[in-house]
Chains A and B, each alone.
Chain A
Amino acid sequence: MGNKTTEIRVKYENILSYDINELVNMSAEYRDRCCKNKKHENTKMFFCNDTQEIESLQSMACNMLRFFHKQKISKDFRWKAALVSCGTLQVLQCKCERHKKEKVCTQLNTHNKEDTETGEQSKKKCNQEFCELKENTSSLRSCWNKFEKIISR
C-alpha cells in the first residue's frame, strides 16, 4: 500500500497537478456571471469525504466525463476536462460504473481534437452545463489537494 500511495503521489505531483491547474485557469477565462447568480437545479453536489477521498475523486472524474460530448461547452475546455478525468482514473487505477465513459479516454488517447464535434458556446445565455462542469472541476482540485496532503505525510 505504501508503494501504491507513493506512486499515486508522484504521478499527481509531476503530471496530473499541472493538468488540473491548467483546466482551472481555462475555466476562469470564460464568463461565468450567471453561475454565481443562479442556483442550478438538479445539480449534483460532490463532496470529498474524509477517509473516502479516492472514492470521491473517482465519482467526480466519472461525472466529468459525461460532459465530453456536450457541444454547448467549448471544445478545448471539455477536451481538457476529459483529459483530467481520465488522468485521475488512471492514477487511482479506478473505473467508472459505466464502461462507456472510459471509452472516452481511449478516444482521447489518439483521437485528434479537430475531429471532435464542435459546438458554439453561447456567451449570452447562461450555460448550465458549463457551470456544472466548472464547479465539478473546482471540487476535483480541492479534493486532490486534500488527498495529496494525506498521502504526503
Chain B
Amino acid sequence: MTRTSTVLSIFVLFLHTTFGESGCTSVDGDGTFGDDEPDNFDINCFSQLEFKDSYSSLTCNFIELPPDNTNYTLALCNKEDSNYVCFNMEKREDAYFLQFTDILSNKDICMDSETKRRVCRSLVVTDMVKPEVPFNVNITYQKEANEYLIHYSTPHSWKKYLQDKLIHQIAYRQEEGTWKTIESPYLQVKLLGKNLENDASYEVKVRSQPNGDFFKGTWSEWSASKSFRTTREQNFMESYSNVVLVILSILGFMLSVVMIVLIGTFWENRIKPAVWPNLPDHKKTLEQLCKKPKNNFDISFNPENFGYVHIHKVDDIQAKTEQETFLPPSNAPETNLPGKFRSGSDLKMIPAMTDKSNPNLPVTYGGIWPSEALHRLLGTSQTAVTEGNCSSSTYEVCHSSGVPLHDDGFNHSSAPSSDPSVQPGPEPLNGDTISQMLPTGEMRSPNNEEAYVTMSSFYKIQ
C-alpha cells in the first residue's frame, strides 16, 4: 500500500511538471512568452491603419521559422465575455495577413498547430502601427537664401487617424558617403547650402513613424531616393555682386533726387540766366538812358535863362586815374573847337594840349588830373599847364571832352584861377548834360561825336 501511494505520488509529480506549464494561455504579466516552453511562438507583427477605406490590416511573420513539416495558423481573437471570437489570418508567402475594422478593442494573436494547443498573446493594434511609405520627394534650391528645400507627401495626409501624428525622418548623403538624418513633424525641411559641398551630388530619402502620443509603432519603409546637385561657389560671388549692385542703384537714385532738387531750386536764378542769357534790348536800354525831353524843355543859349540852374564853375579838369580808358590822341582837334572860344594864347596852348591830350580822356569837372597823365599827355611842365590859362585850357579840354557847362570859363576878362589846387566840384556827366549838348554837337571829339550822333539819331527816331 505504501509502495503504491509512493508510486502514485511520484507519477502525479511527474505529470505536474510535464503538463503544468504547457500554457494554453501562459502569458506573463506583459503578455510575452519569455520563459515558456519552446513551443511558444516568437512573431513580429505590425498594423496598418486605414490601408483600404475603413479597414485596417495586421501583418505578422515568424522570427524563427517553425519546422517545415508543421502547419501553423495564426488567428486574431477578440475576447467578448465568455466568447472568444477568432479570425484566421491569411498566409502570404512568409507572412500572415488580416484586415479588420475594429482597432479599439484589445485583441489576442493566437497560433494554432496540428500538434500543439493554441497559444495566444495579447496585442494592441494601435501600439504597432507602421505608416505607409512617403512619396513624391522633391528638392528645390532657394537661391537667395542658399538653401535646399526638401518636401514630400504621405498618404496619411488625407486619412483620419494618423494625420499630423507622424514623425518624418529625412536621410541624405553625398555620393557613396555616410547617411545623415533629420527628423521633422512637417512635410518639408531645409538643408543649408553652407553645410553642403559645392558642386556635389546628393541623395535623399524619407520615412515615417507615429509620434508616440497615442499611436506607437515602427518606421515605415524608405521612400524612393531622390538625387540633386549643389551649386558652385559662385553663389557667394553672385550674391555679393547683387548686393553691390543694389547699393549702387540706391546711391544713384539718391543722387538723382538731389540733382532734381538743386535744379529746381536754382533754375530761375542761376541756371536759366546762364544758359539763356537775357540779351539787352538796345531800344529799351537807350530809352532808359535817354530820357525824353520835357515838354517845357528849355533850349537856349542865353545864359540869363538858366539863372535857376546851379552852375558849377569849372576851373580845372579832373581826369580819371584809369589810364586804360585813354584813347589814342586825335590829329584834328582844332577844327572842332568853336571859334569864339579861341584866342591866341589859348590857341597856343590848345594845340600842345590837344595834340597830346587825349580827347576821349574821361574827365570830370573838378579835381586835378593825375600828374602822370598830364606829363604823358602834355609833355610840358606842370607849371606851364597851370599858368594863367588854366581855366581856358581847361575849358578847351572840357570842350574837347564835349561838355561845356557854363559861360564863365569862356569869359576871358575874368582872371582865371592859376591855383592848381582849386578843384571845382565834379560835375558828373548825366543825361541832362548830354541832352543839352546834343543839339549842338559841335564841340565834340571825333569818337564821342560818333556816340552822340548815334544817340541823337535814336532820340530823333523816338
Chain A: residues with CB nearer than 8 A to chain B? 10-11, 14-16, 18-19, 22, 80, 83, 86-87, 90-91, 102, 105-106, 108-110, 113
- Our pick among B53, B105, B161 for the contact of A18 (Cβ within 8 Å) is B161
B85 CB contacts on chain A under 8 angstroms = 106
The list of the 3 closest CB pairs from A to B, nearest first, reads A18-B160, A14-B214, A90-B104
- Our pick among B87, B100, B215 for the contact of A14 (Cβ within 8 Å) is B215
Q: How far is the CB of A15 from chain B (nearest CB, A)?
A: 6
B394 in contact (CB, < 8 A)? no
> Taking A14-B214, A109-B87 as contacts, is the C-beta distance between A19 and B160 under 8 angstroms?
yes
A110 CB contacts on chain B under 8 angstroms = 87, 98-101
For this complex, 17 residue pairs linking A to B, each with C-beta atoms less than 8 Å apart, are A14-B126, A14-B161, A14-B214, A15-B103, A15-B161, A16-B104, A18-B161, A83-B101, A86-B102, A87-B102, A90-B102, A91-B104, A108-B101, A108-B102, A110-B98, A110-B101, A113-B53
B256 in contact (CB, < 8 A)? no
B98 CB contacts on chain A under 8 angstroms = 110
- Our pick among B101, B105, B160, B214 for the contact of A22 (Cβ within 8 Å) is B160
B153 in contact (CB, < 8 A)? no
Could you tell me the distance between the alpha carbons of A105 and B102 in the complex, rounded to whole angstroms? 8
B68 in contact (CB, < 8 A)? no
> Taking A22-B160, A106-B85 as contacts, is the C-beta distance between A83 and B54 under 8 angstroms?
yes
Contact B161 A109 (CB under 8 A): no
Residue of B at shortest CB range from A19? B160
Residue of A at shortest CB range from B81? A95
Interface centre among A18, A90, A109, A113 (most CB of B within 10 A): A109
Q: Could you give, for residues 47-79 of chain B, a 1 whenever the CB lies within 8 Å of some chain A CB and a 0 otherwise?
A: 000000110000000000000000000000010
Residue of A at shortest CB range from B88? A110
Contact B104 A15 (CB under 8 A): yes
B80 in contact (CB, < 8 A)? yes
Number of interface residues of B (CB under 8 A): 19
Could you tell me the distance between the alpha carbons of A102 and B105 in the complex, rounded to whole angstroms? 14
State the main secondary structure of chain B at its contact with A: loop
A14 CB contacts on chain B under 8 angstroms = 126, 161, 214-215
Could you tell me the distance between the alpha carbons of A14 and B53 in the complex, rounded to whole angstroms? 17
Could you tell me the distance between the alpha carbons of A98 and B435 in the complex, rounded to whole angstroms? 142
- Our pick among B80, B102, B103, B214 for the contact of A10 (Cβ within 8 Å) is B214
Chain B: residues with CB nearer than 8 A to chain A? 53-54, 78, 80, 85, 87, 98-105, 126, 160-161, 214-215
Could you tell me the distance between the alpha carbons of A11 and B87 in the complex, rounded to whole angstroms? 24
Q: How far is the CB of A76 from chain B (nearest CB, A)?
A: 9
Q: How far is the CB of B332 from chain A (nearest CB, A)?
A: 127
A83 CB contacts on chain B under 8 angstroms = 54, 101
Residue of A at shortest CB range from B55? A113
Could you tell me the distance between the alpha carbons of A7 and B98 in the complex, rounded to whole angstroms? 26
Could you tell me the distance between the alpha carbons of A80 and B160 in the complex, rounded to whole angstroms? 14
Could you tell me the distance between the alpha carbons of A16 and B54 in the complex, rounded to whole angstroms? 12
Interface centre among B53, B87, B104 (most CB of A within 10 A): B104
Contact A90 B105 (CB under 8 A): yes
Could you tell me the distance between the alpha carbons of A15 and B54 in the complex, rounded to whole angstroms? 12
Could you tell me the distance between the alpha carbons of A113 and B99 in the complex, rounded to whole angstroms? 12
- Our pick among A18, A22, A109, A113 for the contact of B102 (Cβ within 8 Å) is A109
Interface centre among B87, B100, B102, B126 (most CB of A within 10 A): B102
> Taking A15-B161, A19-B160, A110-B99 as contacts, is the C-beta distance between A87 and B104 under 8 angstroms?
yes
B100 CB contacts on chain A under 8 angstroms = 109-110
Contact B80 A109 (CB under 8 A): no
- Our pick among B80, B99, B104 for the contact of A102 (Cβ within 8 Å) is B80
Q: How far is the CB of A4 from chain B (nearest CB, A)?
A: 14
Interface centre among B54, B78, B99 (most CB of A within 10 A): B54
Could you tell me the distance between the alpha carbons of A80 and B54 in the complex, rounded to whole angstroms? 9
Contact B80 A106 (CB under 8 A): yes
A87 CB contacts on chain B under 8 angstroms = 102, 104
A19 CB contacts on chain B under 8 angstroms = 160
Residue of A at shortest CB range from B103? A15
Residue of B at shortest CB range from A95? B81
Could you tell me the distance between the alpha carbons of A31 and B126 in the complex, rounded to whole angstroms? 36
Could you tell me the distance between the alpha carbons of A86 and B160 in the complex, rounded to whole angstroms? 18
Could you tell me the distance between the alpha carbons of A26 and B115 in the complex, rounded to whole angstroms? 49
Residue of B at shortest CB range from A102? B80
Q: How far is the CB of B156 from chain A (nearest CB, A)?
A: 12
Residue of B at shortest CB range from A14? B214
Residue of A at shortest CB range from B160? A18
Residue of A at shortest CB range from B106? A90
Apart from A18-B161, A109-B100, A113-B53, 11 more pairs, CB < 8 Å: A11-B104, A14-B126, A14-B214, A18-B160, A22-B160, A90-B102, A90-B104, A105-B102, A106-B78, A108-B102, A110-B98
